[in-house]
Amino acid sequence: MYDLHGETVHFDTEHNRLLLLDQTELPNKTVVLSLSRLEDMVEAIYNLRVRGAPAIGVAAAVGLSVLSNESAAKTPAEFQAEFLKNAAILEKARPTAVNLSWAINEMRKTQSAHAQAPLAVQKAALTARALELHAADIAVCRTIGEYGAALLQNCDAVLTHCNAGRLATVKYGTALAPVYVAKEQGHTMKVYADETRPLLQGARLTAYELCEAGIDVTVLCDNMASYAMQQGLVQAVLVGCDRVAKNGDTANKIGTSGVAILAKYYGIPFYVCAPFSTIDKNTPTGAEIPIEQRDGEELRSLWYETPKIPQNAKTRNPAFDVTDHSLITAFITEKGVLQPSDFEGYA
């Protein structure tokens, strides 16, 4: 078995491979993928073998570096054409998480800055940049965890939707980072995890990683969040995000906006944990965020032996929804606990 070094996405520089923990197999099997072909990388991102906005971004950066190192191009022009083609194909694998295009753009900048250099120099620069992005993701998530843990000192339990934990990033996660850091500091919060239909990221992934970390986790069907809030079971909601527009409207896993509306009704703070790589200042509001539409078969038959929706009934399967900025108490970022009006002040 390949060694992920405790990470979800790893760059095996010795063998020039992108290593991924295959999340479609969790929680029952631990399967590590070792990838070097573009089509396998695209398939892994589209089919959610690697998922979660930051993890997808780092996987694409490492993938591009692996592909560049494998390149048989003879001239800088040939190398650049091949690099840009691979970047464009990877970028299309999923549309909503802006971290994917953000990380690919970082790699494009590196390639363009070295475009006249010998190919060995370009390849080394791309490898170094992918490793930097990988390391930065770990550091950023750790800092989000520290700000979040400080904010939630009086919290006994939080509710989360989808999986924005270590499986969604290289290591700590975003929405679950405060829970991990608080635990290290001696404050153990309980977590209520929405199961998150239709792909069950909460039930399969959040519950799995929290159990592994020895954190008390209770899985709720998505339609139980109101009950949990009404009963006073949680004191805050923590979610991740796939893209935050300039005005603070936030795209995250389908169902998040409903949870935010409930939290507002019950007077429970609703925090979005957001690395700056997920804040898209080029998108003015949530209305401009592209929402991924997935195959309705995921609703009809994915987890069942026989389909549970009549064949003649239509399905609709948006993967994300947009939470209005007015429902968000604050953004927990690596630069502090911020409001959208603060975003402009940071690079």
CB-nearer residue toward ligand MRU: 66 or 162: 162
Pairing mode of beta strands 243-245, 32-35? unpaired
Question: Taking Cα atoms as reference points, which of 321, 339, 323 lies closest to residue 331?
Answer: 339
Catalytic residue flag (residue 222): no
Please provide the size of the chain in residues: 347
| Of residues 221, 130, 205, the one with CA closest to residue 173 | 205
Compute the least distance from the CB of residue 97 to ligand MRU, in Å: 6
Q: How far is the CB of 236 from ligand MRU (least distance, A)?
A: 16
Q: Taking CB positions, which residue lies at the least distance from ligand MRU?
A: 240
**DSSP helix/strand/coil, 315:** coil
Q: Which of 152, 154, 156 is nearest to 144 (CA)?
A: 152
Give me the least distance between CB of 244 and ligand MRU, in Å please.
11
Distance from C-alpha of 237 to C-alpha of 214, rounded to nearest angstrom:
20
For residues 111 and 121, give the distance between their C-alpha atoms in angstroms, rounded to a whole number.
10
Q: Which is nearer to ligand MRU, 73 or 138 (CB)?
A: 138
Which residue lies nearer to ligand MRU by CB, 242 or 280? 242
Strands 279-280 and 243-245: parallel
Nearer to ligand MRU, 125 or 191 (CB): 191
Q: How far is the CB of 98 from ligand MRU (least distance, A)?
A: 10
Binding residues for ligand MRU, per CB under 6 A? 48, 51-54, 97, 162, 164, 168-169, 174, 201, 240-242, 252-253, 319
CB of 254 to ligand MRU, least distance (A): 8
Q: Dihedral of the CA atoms 272, 273, 278, 284 (nearest 10)?
A: 20
Q: Identify which of 122, 123, 240 has the alpha carbon closest to the alpha carbon of residue 179.
A: 240
Phi, psi torsion values for 218, nearest 5 degrees = -125, 125
Task: State the catalytic residue, choosing from 137, 242, 249, 280.
Answer: 242
According to DSSP, the β-strands at 157-160 and 243-245 are unpaired
- Is residue 145 a contact partner of residue 223, using CB atoms and an 8 Å limit? no
Q: Find the shortest distance in angstroms from Cβ 94 to ligand MRU.
A: 7
Give the DSSP H/E element, type plus range, for residue 17.
strand 17-21
Identify which of residues 69 and 142 has a Cβ nearer to ligand MRU in the complex.
142
The catalytic residues are 242
